[in-house]
Chain A
């Protein structure tokens, strides 16, 4: 089954982080990504730019496109990256989520990918 791990963390923490700690923490992510790849569980994964770079788009009832600067809502933790993994079941997904460095500094949300195969 495919699961998306959504990494929520306090992005301010990253912006004020001393360089040595930054190297250590990104090193932990690199090692984690390698471990996922070695296990054959990694489908894809990326960090995201901070929420300050976010743009919100919606089309209102009159058909007018609205474009807004910034994140949708102010929260303590922000979506800062994701992994897509392919593992046997939720227990395996929980085990991988617990190993993710983000689980120690923020939270990891596990979402199963919906299977929308259209009947032949």
Chain B
């Protein structure tokens, strides 16, 4: 006999560990992501209700799967789904029970699920959110905040996309070789969006995103394994490994923000960096450069500081030139200006920044104002630096970054007063 609280904890742990896998397994059998989600939610509710009295089953995931499958059966009956779907579910349930009882491993359909989410018949702007919900198990409100959309609007889009998968008969499987390249781009873009979301929450203060970086890394590994000839898949994994290798160094012992070029390189994860470098070399062998390989190469040039004490800023500028050509992104142009400032001096950095200052997409973009403040300060223009620091301070939503910018603003103000 365990407490309700205990059962709740076990069910919740099972939910986090198995959600994506269970959902992908059920959905690929019945062809309806939405119905599978509802069934799984009911199974979790039933677990919390039953386990305090009956005890936690030996294989919690198997229990949840069977409960969800039974619920899907009822649903099939009610909605008169075809005999074919019912047969497939029944067979799938039996195999799954056996697999889980035997070694706790369930056939993994999450890769198929990723490709379904990135299907060309699904609107491009809902693909990443859909993956985050059905493969990573994030809730709509959390996804909405990552994509700066109202939660209700996000919920509606997700529901519409899932309805389309079921009603239009979008298959839940990995595409053929012929369709792979185009479909892969969409998958990689969505994984990167999920990773970037986790990256903006370094302290993992939100328990729902804890482990999200690890999950997206895992998705990246899965895609590389499935598509070993695709350099951009390797590039994305290398990029994520590089960024993740620095996660412990992004905050000091007191939790304060530490900018990249002041981070203690001893706190970078050397094994992960080595793995990223090896991936990048393997990707280069294919001689097909792309956005993710370039971004990973920039990260790689930053890690040169481990060996020679400073990042290879000239190499970084050259890589940003190429990346800007490929993406035409204002954020890339901003980072390029920062790199130019480091490689060739603050005046040239400010020159590059001036070229993009009029872009309305940067007007309320905190990193733009922080970069501008830093360049102004380095160029000796304290007054402009102060104004830019103030603007950046007003635009950040990260307490650690706010504290860091506040401290730098104070320093400028004090220097002026002297």
Question: B-contacting residues of A (Cβ < 8 Å)?
Answer: 1, 3, 88-91, 93-94, 110, 112, 114-115, 117-120
Contact = CB atoms under 8 A, between A and B. Distances in A.
Contacts of B80: 117-120
Interface of B: 78, 80, 82, 119-121, 167-171, 175, 179
B171 A88 contact: yes
Contacts of B179: 91
A90 B82 CA distance: 17
B322 to A, nearest CB: 34
Contacts of A120: 80
B171 A89 contact: yes
Nearest to A3: B169
Contacts of B119: 90
A84 B126 CA distance: 29
A19 B319 CA distance: 57
Contacts of B171: 88-91
5 contacts: A1-B169, A90-B170, A112-B167, A112-B168, A117-B80
Given A117-B80, A119-B80, A91 B175 contact: yes
Contacts of B121: 90, 94
B121, B167, B168 — most chain A CB neighbours (10 Å): B168
A2 to B, nearest CB: 9
A90 B168 contact: yes
Contact of A89 (B78, B82, B170): B170
A94 B170 CA distance: 10
Contacts of B82: 115
B263 to A, nearest CB: 46
A115 to B, nearest CB: 8
Contacts of B120: 94
Nearest to B172: A89
A93 B167 CA distance: 13
Contacts of A115: 82
A94 B122 CA distance: 13
A110 B119 CA distance: 15
Contacts of A93: 169
A88 B169 CA distance: 8
Nearest to B176: A91
Contacts of B78: 119
A21 B327 CA distance: 43
B376 to A, nearest CB: 53
B80, B82, B120, B179 — most chain A CB neighbours (10 Å): B80
Contacts of A3: 169
A1 B168 CA distance: 9
B189 to A, nearest CB: 20
Given A88-B169, A90-B119, A112-B169, 15 more contacts: A1-B169, A3-B169, A88-B171, A90-B168, A90-B170, A91-B170, A91-B171, A91-B175, A94-B120, A110-B168, A112-B167, A114-B167, A115-B82, A117-B80, A119-B78
Nearest to B175: A91
Contacts of A119: 78, 80
Contacts of A94: 120-121
A94 B179 CA distance: 12
Contacts of B168: 90, 110, 112
B29 to A, nearest CB: 14
A94 B171 CA distance: 12
Nearest to B166: A112
A57 B208 CA distance: 56
A90 B169 CA distance: 5
A93 B171 CA distance: 11
A91 B80 CA distance: 24
Contacts of B169: 1, 3, 88-90, 93, 112
A120 B81 CA distance: 12
Nearest to B171: A89
Contacts of A88: 169, 171
A119 B75 CA distance: 12
Contacts of A114: 167
Contacts of A112: 167-169
Contacts of A110: 168
